[in-house]
Amino acid sequence: RVSRERLAASRALGELDTRLLATTQQALTEQRKAASERDVLLREIYHRVKNNLQIIQSLLRLGSRNLSEEQREPFENAVRRIGAMARVHTLLYNSPDLASIDFKDYLDGLVGEIADAFGAEERGIRTVLEAQPMRVSLDTAVPLAFIATELLTNAYKHAFPEDRTGTITIAARHEDGHGLLMIADNGVGFPD
Q: What is the pLDDT of residues 90-142, one digit of tens each?
A: 888 888 887 888 999 999 989 998 999 899 999 999 999 999 999 998 889 88
Cα–Cα–Cα angle for 18, 21, 23, nearest 5°?
110
Predicted pLDDT of residue 89? 84
Phi-psi region of 185 (alpha: psi -120 to 50; beta: other; left: phi over 0): beta
pLDDT digits (tens, 9 = 90+) for 54-82: 899 899 988 888 888 888 888 888 888 88
pTM above 0.85, yes or no: no
Predicted pLDDT of residue 119? 92
Predicted pLDDT of residue 31? 86
Query: Is pLDDT of 188 > 80?
Result: yes
DSSP assignment letter at 64: T
Would you give the distance in Å from CA 149 to the centre of its chain?
A: 13
pLDDT digits (tens, 9 = 90+) for 147-164: 999 999 999 999 999 889
DSSP 122-169: HHTEEEEEEE---EEEHHHHHHHHHHHHHHHHHHHHHSS-TT--EEEE
Cα–Cα distance for residue pair 179/192, rounded to 1 Å: 31
Average pLDDT over residues 32-57: 83
